[in-house]
Amino acid sequence: MTLLHILDLLSVFVFALVGARVAADRRLDYGGIALVAIAASVSGGTLRNLFLGLKPILITDPWVIGSVIAAVAITLSVRRVTKIGKTLLIMDTLGLAIATASGVQLAHNLNSPWYATIILGVITAVTGGLLRDVLCQVEPVLLHRETIGTSSLFGAIAFVILIEFNVDVTIATISGGVVVALVRMLSIQFDLNLPKFQQGEK
């Protein structure tokens, strides 16, 4: 099993956990929860693969759907959860870091130019959460209050810079992921947010 494969499965698992939980909170039925978990966990990697001309891992790797099923089963069985907010946030941060790392590494392996590597890393990381919120009809956190996209962008840029300095790919991948998690956690800790547009009128 390659690092890339492990990263993909891990990010699928944690994004499916978060997706299933958000869907459950929105009172979707079990089928809806499963579908949102699938959409939330595989759409980022799917888009990345389609953009690169590859088949999505959902239909090439049985472990992917296995990871989603495990995550949904856990969500449905662990009914009462205390402090779900914090756990979810950590999960989501973890997924974000791992997905960014898997995105930049795959793009790099396929000889994408540096700007494409950054873009593919961010797309892999943020697409699932966006689709999850659109399907659950909640305000997309990505677009409103959070530093999800920024964290992923910083991590992807860190990866590209390290590669430029001939750092080993595995080390650059892990470092990129760590940067994502750090930026995200610091922004939560100190309540940093991107500014909003201030208009003259209104």
Cα dist from 11 to 15, 41, 177, whole Å: 6, 7, 11
Residue 137 as a binder of a second copy (CB under 8 A): the answer is yes
Contact 71, 16 (CB under 8 A): yes
> Could you give the CA distance from residue 38 to residue 51 in angstroms, rounded to a whole number?
19
Cβ proximity to a second copy: between 95 and 174 the closer is: 95
Cβ proximity to a second copy: between 98 and 126 the closer is: 126
Least Å distance, CB 187 to a second copy, is 11
Cβ proximity to a second copy: between 31 and 166 the closer is: 31
> Could you give the CA distance from residue 95 to residue 7 in angstroms, rounded to a whole number?
9
Listed ranges 87-95, 142-150, 159-167, 171-179: which one lies at the site for a second copy (CB under 8 A): 142-150
Residue 171 as a binder of a second copy (CB under 8 A): the answer is no
Residue 87 as a binder of a second copy (CB under 8 A): the answer is no
Name the nearest CA neighbour of 70 among 45, 44, 41: 41
Residue 180 as a binder of a second copy (CB under 8 A): the answer is no
The C-alpha angle 157, 162, 164, rounded to 5 degrees, equals 95
Amino acid at site 106: L
3-state class (DSSP) for residue 106: helix
Cβ proximity to a second copy: between 55 and 168 the closer is: 55
All residues at 6 or more sequence positions from 83 whose CB lies less than 8 Å from its CB, including other chains: none
Residue 104 as a binder of a second copy (CB under 8 A): the answer is no
Residue 106 as a binder of a second copy (CB under 8 A): the answer is no
Give the footprint of a second copy on this chain (CB under 8 A): 23-25, 27-36, 46, 50-53, 55-56, 58-60, 62, 65, 76, 79-80, 107, 112-113, 115-116, 119-120, 126, 130, 134-137, 139-140, 142-150, 193-201
